[in-house]
Amino acid sequence: MDEVLAGALRCGIYERLDYLEMLIADGDTTSLAALAETELARLSIAWRALLALHEPDERGRCTRCSGWRRGRLFPCSVWVVAHEHLIAANHHADATSAAP
């Protein structure tokens, strides 16, 4: 992928994320419900596709993050970030809301 195309791809993705964050911050209840209906499935599919690329091989190493000399032990940084944002963030929010 050339530099211009890579830059456009990166810019497009960040613009989409900025747009979604703006909708979340400023949207009314109806807009947020519509957003959840369309975007949650897309985000779930995207996470699954990304995680599938980083599944460990038979030696327990991430094939995408591994170099040719040595492998990156599972979990790689992609799985760690997924856990932080999809699991740990929920546990933190649950603990915070349960506090007196």
| 77 or 91, which is more confident | 77
Q: What is the pLDDT of residues 4-17, one digit of tens each?
A: 999 999 999 999 99
Element (H, E) at 23: helix 3-26
- Residue partners of 39: CB distance under 8 A and separation at least 6: 20
Angstrom distance (rounded) from CA 46 to CA 13: 12
Long-range CB contact pairs, 65-72, < 8 A, 24+: none
Contact 86, 47 (CB under 8 A): yes
Domain ranges of the chain: 1-53, 56-100
Provide the token pair at 55.
């599944």
Q: Name the pTM for this structure.
A: 0.74
Angstrom distance (rounded) from CA 43 to CA 57: 25
Q: What is the pLDDT of residues 32-77, one digit of tens each?
A: 999 999 999 999 999 999 999 999 988 888 888 877 666 678 899 9
